[in-house]
Amino acid sequence: MARPKKSAAAKTNAVTEAESNGTPTDDANAIEDGKILDYITGRPVAENDKERVRQRIARALFHEYGLSVDDMEPDFRVKVDGSNKKIDIAIFDPGSEHNPENVRRLVVCQKELKLGGKGAYKMRDHEQAAKDLELLKAAMTACEECKYGLWTNGLEFFFFRVERTRFDVKFKPIGDWPLTDESIGTREVASHAKLRRADPEMLRTAFRRCHNFIHGNEGMPKDAAFWQFLYLIFAKMHDERQPHDKRRFWAGRFEKSGQLMDEQFDPAGQNAIRKRIQPLFDEVKKRYSTVF
């Protein structure tokens, strides 16, 4: 009797769960040393610094963004400037054929950064990382129906939304991707945005990024950076206890000169964020005075 076929995500989850419980499985035992299971295809791939980044992103796309692994493909070839380039993860219109016309999102990964000792990595902005982003932008241009892009090295995350006109293609920096094909939301409804459960590994990555920004970009010693990060967590926890329409710890979008802008990438938007956060922070300092 034929056994039902498991999806790639189901295979990977089964092996991960079995390994965490100490239970051997045929799939787990079949993986050679130096290889890991690809979350998308379920096939063994060579384990290295870049692959570990790609696997974390693939898990997040499934668990956090609600994208099916059946609509993903690793090492997807896109013709850029006359030659085929491998793009680490391509996401297609649900249920469609995997071809450039059906690409909706693209991900380019680089090897994981090694931050040993007391060294701090200074997080870059989009302009400082422009050269690294060239391949992603070229591939997004070539896939004419592509809406979103992501470049990451496991610590830095650069998200884009594509805006196409008859004569031009523009790449707008955004703070994050929307879930599946939902809109990102506007400034007025950002506090009502649908929450998603963070993948544990990606949650650790987010904490690491925040701490590293305070330590590397702001120049604070590690112990001072830790306390600043702790204060932010307390502020977020306090904010989450408020009714949806009273929450202030978020970044959204607003209209400027007839265009929607992401607050965190515009000076006026950054001021709006500060006006929301500062009173919240003052409240938290009073509420948890023993910590602050």
Alpha carbons 13 and 42: distance in angstroms, whole number: 10
What is the maximal distance between C-alpha atoms in the chain? Answer: 67
Residue 241: φ, ψ to 5°? -85, -5
Q: Show pLDDT as tens, one digit a residue, over the chain (292 residues).
A: 333 344 555 554 544 444 444 444 454 456 788 899 999 999 999 999 999 999 999 999 999 899 999 999 999 999 998 899 999 999 999 999 999 999 999 999 999 877 655 556 788 889 999 999 999 999 999 999 999 999 999 989 999 999 998 889 999 999 889 887 654 444 343 433 455 566 677 777 777 777 777 776 777 787 887 888 888 888 988 998 888 888 898 888 777 777 777 888 888 888 998 999 999 999 999 988 888 8
Q: What is the pLDDT of residue 129?
A: 94
Q: What is the pLDDT of residue 68?
A: 95
Alpha carbons 8 and 17: distance in angstroms, whole number: 14
The beta strand positions in 175-285, using DSSP E, are 253-256, 259-262
Chain position carrying tokens 């994208």: 67
Q: Are 211 and 230 in contact (CB under 8 A)?
A: no
Alpha-carbon radius of gyration of the chain: 21
- DSSP 3-state of 19: helix
Question: In CATH, which of 3.90.1570, 1.10.1060, 3.40.5, 3.30.300 is domain 48-182?
Answer: 3.90.1570
Distances in Å between the alpha carbon of 172 and those of 148, 149, 161, 264? 9, 10, 5, 12
Tokens representing 55 are: 């696997």
- DSSP 3-state of 105: strand
Chain position carrying tokens 């060579």: 46
DSSP bridge partners of 76: 87
Give the number of C-alpha atoms closer than 13 A to the C-alpha of residue 71, restricted to the C-beta side.
19
Alpha carbons 235 and 239: distance in angstroms, whole number: 6
Give the number of C-alpha atoms closer than 13 A to the C-alpha of residue 198, restricted to the C-beta side.
8
Alpha carbons 202 and 219: distance in angstroms, whole number: 24
Alpha carbons 144 and 81: distance in angstroms, whole number: 14
- Determine the residue type at 116: G
Q: Are 206 and 112 in contact (CB under 8 A)?
A: no
Q: Are 91 and 80 in contact (CB under 8 A)?
A: no
- Determine the residue type at 131: K
* Residue ranges per structural domain of the chain: 48-182, 185-292
Tokens representing 163 are: 């805006």
